[in-house]
Amino acid sequence: MTVTASSPAAAEADAILSVNNIEVIYDHVILVLKGVSLVVPRQGIVALLGANGAGKTTTLKAISNLLRTERGEVTKGSIEFEGQRVDRLSASDLVRRGCIQVMEGRHCFAHLTIEENLMTGAFTRRDGSAAIAGDLEAIYDYFPRLKQRRSSIAGFTSGGEQQMCAIGRAMMSRPKMILLDEPSMGLAPQIVDEIFEIVRDLNCKEQVSFLLAEQNTSIALRYASWGYILENGRVVLDGDARMLRDNEDVKEFYLGVSGAGRRSFRGVKHYKRRKRWLA
């Protein structure tokens, strides 16, 4: 059963990003995405949810054109950013156009210092060093921890610090759209909240759109306006975030609230098996 409520017509008209029925194959033989379509409205925050291996990361990489570096390719469908086909561009072209990805698993430049890492984010910018320095300060304000560690070699910083660095680095490019892959991973709860606050901030103040692949469903749905649930390379459910939050199945399996409130992790039953939307 597909609960797909058709996306709001307004968003359709002013989509910053639209992915139309793409198929992705790795290594010429492994079919991972089997027709995924999604739309991110301008100035929207869209969450991409799904279990491990559903294909969230793959979708984001397909959009940012990083697939090719992993011997994957988009074999069908099209991807449009601001109304133009981008699936034949290079990753750096896309960044220049204002769409940047924060990769899952941090990927800082290990041998560069934190500050140099952040500065590489500004590589495509042409608006002068004063503006860049200003943004750098802004990022240090968001992440004071980074300021403390600014001259440390990134490879030696802690996992969470690297995660902040990766997010900050992407923000340095002043994008119109950020593809965030698991931003909350490895961050302390406080920081997670802060990050999502930043997301909201950027979204409101600077009109940055977001596509979030996130495992922390409850927080993602709290901040997003629209959500897609991916399973096995297909979109199985999508809808308004509030609607998804109220969906019983989503509640049960993604939010962990059953009738009696939050479940305890200690009491998890062995035989429990999640209902799959697809066989």
Which residues, 148 to 187, sit near Mg ion by CB under 5 A?
A: 158-159
**Is residue 70 involved in binding ligand ATP (CB under 6 A)?**
yes
Question: In this chain, which of 20, 37, 78, 152 binds another protein, going by CB under 8 A?
Answer: 152
**Is residue 270 involved in binding another protein (CB under 8 A)?**
yes
Interactions with ligand ATP, residue window 145-174 (CB under 6 A): 152, 156-161
Of 41 and 50, which has the nearer Cβ to Mg ion? 50
Q: What six digits make up the tokens of 194? A: 């802060």
**Is residue 32 involved in binding ligand ATP (CB under 6 A)?**
yes
d(CA 217, CA 214): 7
Contacts of 95 (CB under 8 A, 6+ apart): 124, 173, 175
Q: Pairing relation of β-strands 30-41 and 15-26?
A: antiparallel
d(CA 209, CA 202): 8
When computed from its CA atoms, the radius of gyration of the chain, rounded to whole angstroms, is 19
E strand or H helix at 262? strand 261-262
d(CA 138, CA 206): 13
d(CA 68, CA 178): 20
Residue whose C-beta lies closest to ligand ATP: 160
**Is residue 104 involved in binding Mg ion (CB under 5 A)?**
yes
Total residues at interface with Mg ion (CB under 5 A): 4
Interactions with ligand ATP, residue window 98-127 (CB under 6 A): 104
Piece of the chain touching another protein by CB under 8 A; list 11-19, 134-142, 161-169, 234-242: 161-169
- Chain residues that interact with ligand ATP, rule: CB under 6 A: 26-27, 30, 32, 50, 52-58, 70, 72, 104, 152, 156-161, 186
